[in-house]
Amino acid sequence: MVLVVAGLTVATIAAVAAGVVGSKTFRTTGYFIGLTQGINPVNGHPQYDYVNFAGHNLVNLAMGRNLTDTNFHKQVMAMTFECDLSAASLVVYDLATSNVVATIAKSTSVDSVKQRDVNRVGPNRAHFVTILQIGQNGNEANGLLSGYFTVAGRVNLDPLTGCPEPVLVSLDRDPLDKLADDIELPASDDPDSVPLIVRTGLAHLIGVVDAVTEGTTNTVLVPYGGLSIRRGLPAAGVSAAN
C-alpha cells in the first residue's frame, strides 16, 4: 500500500509539472466604460460621447441582436482558459445547452506568472496579461466587427492540476487588487442569475470595439473595463462558434 500511495504521489507531481491539457469555462460578468467621437450640437466642437456597456450587451451584439435585448437570459458571457494558461477567450455560453455558441474575442497571446503558497503541491494562483482579438459576429444591423481587449488579471489555480478554479469569495484575495483597482462589479452593472458565492479571479482591461448597432457603425474606445471571473460552467461543447 505504501508503494502504491508513493507511486500515485509521484504521478500527481509529474502531472502538475507537465501541465494538464484541456480548458475550463467560467461565468464572467463585465462592465466597460466606452467613448465615441461626438460633436457639440451648440458650437460644433468635438466632444466625448459616453456609451458605457456591459457583458450582456456584448453577448447581444455577438448574436446579432439589439444591444439592449433581454429575451435571451440563458445566453451569457463567459471566459475560457486553457489549463496551462496558453490561451483564453471571451465567449457566449448557452446555459440551456451547455454550449459555447459564439466567440466574442480570442487570445493572440497570453503571458502569466504563477505562485505556489506554503504547503501546496503545485501553483495555486497566477497573474496573466492577454490580448484578445474581437472577431466578426452578428449581422448587418447589429454585430461586432473587430477590435481588441488587452486584459490583465489573476486567477486561482487548482494546486493539483494547475487549471484555473473558483474559491470562496472570502478567500479570493490578492495583494495587487488594490493597486490594479480590481474590485467586484456591482450586481446592477451586469446581472448574474446565480448569487456570488465563489470566484475564480478578477481582471481589468482597455481596448477598442468596432461595432454596428441598429445599422450604424461606430468605433468605441474602452479606457477601462472590469471582469469578474466567477463560477465554473459545465464542460462546454462548441456549437456554431468561431
95 Cβ partners below 8 Å, 6+ apart? Answer: 74, 75, 76, 233
pLDDT per position as a tens digit, 200-214:
999 999 999 999 999
Give the residue extent of every domain in the chain: 21-238
Residue 37, pLDDT score? 94
Query: Could you give the angle at the alpha carbon of 235 between the alpha carbons of 230 and 237, nearest 5°?
Result: 120
Higher pLDDT, 237 or 38: 38
| 140 membership: H or E segment, kind and range | none
In which band, very low, low, confident or very high, does the pLDDT at 239 lie, cut at 50, 70 and 90? low
Task: Please tell me the pTM assigned to this model.
Answer: 0.87
> Are the CB atoms for 60 and 69 separated by under 8 Å?
yes
Cα–Cα distance for residue pair 172/167, rounded to 1 Å: 6
pLDDT in tens, 109-145: 999 999 988 776 667 999 999 999 999 999 999 999 9
- The pLDDT tens digits of the residues spanning 60-113 come to 999 999 999 999 999 999 999 999 999 999 999 999 999 999 999 999 999 999
Position 228 scores a pLDDT of 98
